[in-house]
């Protein structure tokens, strides 16, 4: 039996097949053609979906999965408690499923207090205490989104993600440097201060980074951290094994 795990993000879909650790990014405009090709090449027996999309768009994509694969499709949802983790939100439906899956996976892996920083288009930080209680989190713009928001009304600097490759935490000596370094510094400072605050009450706490910008941001951190790519998919598999999924 092979499960196809699908993570529907705001701009692209990520997927993992079975127990493989590779996470592959797929563009939405190519999604149906890609899925049809995959259906003819792999022995997929089920699909699990996690989605941050609106209900209408999510329903369309789920229908495509069912039509192309002709297999049962299950969906991940946030619950008040799962695998030893208790959700901080009074209305659990308001917590993004990607954040919940990452927190559940991190807790299942570490069994200790932790900060889970998922650094993609948006940067999310979530906190779990030593008892497995989710203590809420922060959501800020990721590096590229922060850059585009700042420069959307300017003509002299054109935003480019490649500019972060040379960014540092030093003050910039030209405007472009100041912009790139400032965005990086702001995200690094938030992570560092959040983690240090948690260490005051939980000295054993771990800092876990995931997401596309994790290696870049991590290289500028002074705190010790663990890189754990694919946390969302790990969480999907854990909920599947615990039979905590719902029909799509």
Map tokens 């990014």 to a residue. Answer: 25
213 labelled binding-site residue: no
The answer on whether 118 is annotated among ligand-binding residues is yes
Choose the catalytic residue: 91, 98, 155, 247: 98
Q: Is 54 annotated as a binding residue?
A: no
Rounded CA separation 231/103 (Å): 8
Known binder of ligand: residue 13?
yes
Q: Is 9 annotated as a binding residue?
A: yes
Annotated binding residue 10:
yes
175 is in an annotated binding site: yes
Q: Are 238 and 104 in contact (CB under 8 A)?
A: yes
Q: Two tokens at 186?
A: 């702001």
12 in a known ligand binding site: yes
98 is catalytic: yes
3-state secondary structure 53-81: CCHHHHHHHHHHHHHHHCCCEEECCCCCE
Q: Partners of 16 in the beta sheet? A: 5
Q: Count of CB atoms within 10 A of residue 197's CB?
A: 13
Binding region for K(+)? 118
Residues making up the binding site for substrate: 89, 96-99, 175
Binding-site positions: 7-14, 89, 96-99, 118, 121, 175
Binding residues for ATP: 7-14, 121
- Catalytic (active-site) positions: 98
């Amino acid at each position: 039996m092979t499960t196809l795990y699908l993570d529907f993000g705001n701009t692209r879909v990520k997927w993992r097949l079975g127990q493989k650790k590779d996470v592959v990014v797929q563009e939405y405009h190519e999604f149906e053609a890609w899925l049809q090709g995959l259906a003819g090449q792999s022995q997929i027996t089920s699909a699990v979906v996690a989605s941050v999309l609106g209900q209408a768009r999510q329903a369309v994509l789920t229908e495509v999965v069912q039509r192309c694969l002709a297999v049962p499709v299950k969906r991940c949802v946030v619950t008040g408690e799962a695998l030893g983790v208790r959700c901080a939100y009074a209305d659990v439906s308001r917590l993004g499923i990607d954040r919940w899956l990452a927190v559940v996976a991190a807790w299942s892996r570490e069994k200790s207090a932790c900060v889970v920083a998922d650094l993609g288009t948006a940067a999310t930080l979530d906190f779990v205490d030593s008892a497995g209680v989710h203590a809420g989190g922060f959501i800020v713009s990721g590096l590229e989104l922060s850059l585009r928001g700042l420069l959307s009304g300017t003509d002299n600097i054109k935003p480019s993600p490649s500019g972060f490759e040379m960014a540092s935490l030093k003050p910039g000596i030209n405007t472009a440097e100041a912009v790139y370094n400032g965005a990086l510094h702001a995200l690094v400072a938030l992570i560092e201060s959040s983690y240090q605050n948690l260490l005051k009450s939980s000295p054993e706490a771990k800092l876990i980074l995931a997401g596309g910008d994790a290696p870049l941001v991590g290289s500028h951190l002074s705190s010790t951290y663990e890189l754990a790519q694919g946390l969302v998919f790990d969480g999907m598999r854990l909920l599947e094994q615990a039979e905590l999924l719902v029909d799509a």
